[in-house]
Structure 1
Amino acid sequence: MKENKWKGKKLYHYTGFPVLEGIMNKGELWLCNVKSMNDTKEMLHYMDCLEDSVCKKLSDEQKEKAHNLFDDQLKKLKDKPVYASSFSCLKDDAAQWERYASNGEGICLTFNAEKLEKVCRGHAILQTVFYTKNANKSAHASLIRDYVVTGKVNDIEWGSIEGIFENSWASSSAYKHDSFKSEKEVRVVSLPFSIKYFLGEPRYKIEGWGIREYYILDLNKNEDIPIQDLIKEVTIGPRSKATVDTVQRYLKSLNSNFSKISVSVSNCPLL
């Protein structure tokens, strides 16, 4: 039997205090539209890399055909965003405190990765993010290049060229530009072409910068994994004025079992 790659692993979710209430009190993990995340080329980075890789070794005529194919397919896919929630493999990381946890005034939740994967199962995927500058070794690139050259796809496996592009699009949220590699990100990612079937209708929240679009993953849906077993620790940000005893009392007020969750203050020396 293949060993679960998440066994014994921890993941860290840097965020603000308002999210603590949503996760701990309501059991809601928000999967947000990745286009509104910190990478301005989310979803398109991988597709751009694919297009560049496909066009290598093609004639000028074939390159034009490939570019037209990508233009046509991306027009069909652009309104089918992927939704995700971000985690890191890094504990008490200064850059992520500043970037994602209210400039160090927020919190970081430590998740049991193996149990998080079980909570996601059937509704979303726990996906390691890959950092790349090209897609030269991608199977998608080979498949699309073969189609450009021959005009054919394996109908039994893929059905059509649209099937290959849909699979590429679904995979694109797992790839980010190499400049983000220091984040060591892992994502809970929605299943893009069946998200409403699994997670219902999208929700919307007005933020200072615009409108946040998200879906809710119910952390309470697996009764065998209570939140106090899923979330092992709450770390208070290095610039936060919150105290350990206040956070402990707050958690206990929500659920007496939450007293099992460890609460500490970050050791990160942010000023």
Structure 2
Amino acid sequence: MKLTDIQPKEIDTQNELRYLISKLKNKKKIKSLYHYTNIYGVEGILKHKELWLSDANFLNDKNELLYTYNLCKEAISDICGKDKGAFLDHFKDVIESEALKKPVYVMSLTTNSDSNLLWSNYTNNDGYNIILDHKDLFKESKIKNYHLLKFPVIYDNQIQKEIISELMCKFIGVMLYFQKFDKSNPNFITKWNYQFKVIALFVKILAIFFKDSCFSQEEEYRIALLPETWLTDYLDYTCRISNGSFIPYLTVPIHDKKAIKGLTIGPKNNMDIAKDGILKFLEINGYDHLDENSVNKSKIPYRY
């Protein structure tokens, strides 16, 4: 689409959010999800029956967010051609605004049950992965003030560009709408701020579920908590310590213990007591639906 084809128009927030979510959905059936972690992560999740979702602003790799922002700028340039300047300048204001600093909380899982890469990156090869039931894990989770989003990460650059191009057309349409808006109208500033905060939110959602194809081996599946009211501040998080920093996070309760389907022991963990120990831990924490067949060793041969 070209600039001349775009109609000046406000964004209908709820309809546009539903549409965006529909574009992120993957029709591929997922039976189980896996969370690779060390023994302390296993203890925390299974003992307290909760998952931790970290503030996306504290992700280890800020390039994850920049990757999507750059795709947005490319889309604006393609749509607007020689007239791109003002639109790019305003998009820069949007992504540098306070709105994009609003927290969206994220947890990374995967659909890969036994990945050499993930064992190495997240468990030093001697941790565990927790096997989670995709359907039962979040079906009763209702977090006050937040929407729960859960999708596989999209690595396909062509699909990413198509979704972003549609969103940037809407961003441009909003800019054109306000160019014709009566600036003396007392609602002008309120409407302007709201519309572009919504766009900032949508861009951030895409940044959470889009990654460069070079990371596709991770086969990542992400859980995100999205504020229901983007204009409101919620101080309902706590902080954990990671690599010498405090990381804000929220918790999601595991309502049904049967959402835990089992565990896999990392390839480097050759201690005979590892399986016996985890079975005792499961027993004292009430996971009576799991037995010795629910805990297995990785099939990856570890080379010293």
Q: TM-score range by the shorter chain?
A: 0.7 to 0.9
Q: Is it true that 1:264 corresponds to 2:296 in the alignment?
A: yes
8 Å Cα contact 2:100-2:201 kept in structure 1: no
Task: Give, in angstroms, the shift of residue 7 of structure 1.
Answer: 6.3
Q: Which ranges in structure 1 are unaligned for 5 or more consecutive residues?
A: 221-225
Cα 1:121–1:250 change in 2 (3 A) is: same
- What does residue 171 of structure 1 align with? 206
d(CA) in 2 for partners of 1:25, 1:72: 44
Cα 1:8–1:53 change in 2 (3 A) is: closer
d(CA) in 2 for partners of 1:193, 1:170: 13
8 Å Cα contact 1:49-1:133 kept in structure 2: no
Q: How does 1:98-177 map to 2 (within 5 A)?
A: 98-101=120-123, 103-120=124-141, 123-133=147-157, 135-138=160-163, 139-148=166-175, 151=178, 160-177=195-212
Q: 2:116 aligns with which of 78, 94, 97?
A: 94
Q: 2:284 aligns with which of 245, 253, 258?
A: 253
Deviation string, structure 1 residues 99-147 (Cα, Å, up to 9, x no partner): 112x111100111101124144665221111114464312202212334
Task: Give, in angstroms, the shift of residue 163 of structure 1.
Answer: 2.5
Task: Give, in angstroms, the shift of residue 252 of structure 1.
Answer: 0.6
8 Å Cα contact 2:100-2:204 kept in structure 1: no
RMSD: 3.0
Amino acid in structure 2 at the alignment position of 1:191: L
Q: Which ranges in structure 2 are unaligned for 5 or more consecutive residues?
A: 1-25, 181-190
Structure 1 residue matching 2:52: 3-state secondary structure:
strand
Task: Give, in angstroms, the shift of residue 194 of structure 1.
Answer: 4.8
Decide which moves more: 115-124 or 250-259: 115-124
Q: Is it true that 1:202 corresponds to 2:242 in the alignment?
A: no
The structure with more radius of gyration: 2
Decide which moves more: 206-215 or 257-266: 257-266
What TM-score, normalized to structure 2?
Answer: 0.74
Q: Is it true that 1:71 corresponds to 2:89 in the alignment?
A: no
Task: Give, in angstroms, the shift of residue 18 of structure 1.
Answer: 0.7
Structure 1 residue matching 2:112: 3-state secondary structure:
coil
- What does residue 218 of structure 2 align with? 183
8 Å Cα contact 2:131-2:262 kept in structure 1: yes
Structure 2 residue matching 1:125: 3-state secondary structure:
strand
- What does residue 223 of structure 1 align with? none
d(CA) in 2 for partners of 1:244, 1:38: 31
- What does residue 218 of structure 1 align with? 253
Q: 1:231 aligns with which of 253, 257, 260?
A: 260
Task: Give, in angstroms, the shift of residue 251 of structure 1.
Answer: 1.1
